[in-house]
């Protein structure tokens, strides 16, 4: 299944006999909460999902956005109307990060029929509504483990023996700035691959052939096993996992990412433009 859907394709499915459950996952790192924007206007039928509170556990030793409690995540998805065979489409309004986090969690939890709206809310040309829907309770029960997941030791090994991509902005990878986490730099051996390069000027994913060429040049064609991906806290890296799937590569998410890695003073840190 193609992990993304166009706005025109979504409009057709919403008008069809089995419309998808819509998840509005508006989220911006360091920005205002997405709920007021959702209440001001959302795609008809969409349910707001709070990334910080519902798609992540509280910050702590596992980083700024640890994976949520599995039972709690299942309850959130059932509240949104998700069942075992229910098609789901997630969208946001900023680089696909929030939507990809929902997409990855659902896939990891065993739900196959989930896609991201390509281009996000900006691509939608249909009407918006302010009514907050109350969907019929779904029956989805998470079965985690359907997608590969890395811990810190796995990520270190992937950087040494395979390919580990750092999805953050280049200046954070190089250690020139670090506005959020405790230490600047990157995991030794990781390769810089900012998520912004996965999108075109309209915020849509670049064609599969373009993405495949990008990741092949970064080393994905020679990597043994899934490509590892991390970012600051496991959110933007989900967008990179999505781009890799579009391009035809298997990948594994390091959910704790730099916010977990950098909390441990015993973990090595590299700086500069090279993997180190």
Q: Strand 47-48 to strand 21-24: parallel, antiparallel, or no bridges (unpaired)?
A: parallel
Tokens of 267: 């973990």
Determine which one of 121, 231, 246, 253 is catalytic: 231
Rounded distance between C-alpha atoms, residue 183 and residue 192, angstroms: 17
Task: Give the contacts of 204 (CB within 8 A, at least 6 positions apart).
Answer: 118, 119, 123
Instruction: Give me the helices (H) in 138-229, please.
Output: 152-161, 170-174, 208-218
**In the chain, beta strands by DSSP E:** 4-5, 21-24, 47-48, 88-91, 114-117, 149-150, 164-166, 191-192, 227-230, 251-254
Backbone torsion region of residue 47, taken as left when φ is above 0, otherwise alpha when ψ lies between -120 and 50, otherwise beta: beta
Distance CA(253)–CA(267), nearest Å, equals 18
Helices marked H in 90-230 = 97-108, 152-161, 170-174, 208-218
Residue 63 annotated among the catalytic residues of the structure: no
Report the interhelical angle of 97-108 vs 236-247 (nearest 10°): 70
Residue given tokens 């394709």 in the structure block: 9
Which residues are part of the catalytic machinery? 231
């Amino acid at each position: 299944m193609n992990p993304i859907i166009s706005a025109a394709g979504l409009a057709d499915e919403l008008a069809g006999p089995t419309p998808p459950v819509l998840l509005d996952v508006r989220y911006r790192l360091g920005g205002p909460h997405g709920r007021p924007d959702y209440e001001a206007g959302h795609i008809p039928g969409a349910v707001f999902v709070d990334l910080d509170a519902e798609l992540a556990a509280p910050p702590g030793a596992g980083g700024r956005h640890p994976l949520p409690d599995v039972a709690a995540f299942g309850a959130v998805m059932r509240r949104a109307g998700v069942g075992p065979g229910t098609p789901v489409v997630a969208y946001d309004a900023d680089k696909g990060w929030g939507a990809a986090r929902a997409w990855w969690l659902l896939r990891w939890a065993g739900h196959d029929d989930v896609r991201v709206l390509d281009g996000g809310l900006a691509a939608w040309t249909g009407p918006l509504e302010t009514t907050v829907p109350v969907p019929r309770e779904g029956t989805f029960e998470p079965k985690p483990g359907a997608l590969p997941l890395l811990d810190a030791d796995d990520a270190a090994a992937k950087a040494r023996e395979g390919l580990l991509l750092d999805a953050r902005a280049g200046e954070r990878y190089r250690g020139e700035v670090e506005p959020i986490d405790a230490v600047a730099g990157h995991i030794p051996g990781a390769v810089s691959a900012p998520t912004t390069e996965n999108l075109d000027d309209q915020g849509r994913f670049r064609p599969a052939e373009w993405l495949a060429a990008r990741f092949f040049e970064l080393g994905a064609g020679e990597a043994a096993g899934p490509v590892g991906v991390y970012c600051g806290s496991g959110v933007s890296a989900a967008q990179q996992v999505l781009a890799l799937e579009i391009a035809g590569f298997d990948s594994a998410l390091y959910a704790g990412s730099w916010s977990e890695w950098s909390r441990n003073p015993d973990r090595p840190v590299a700086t500069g433009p090279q993997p180190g």
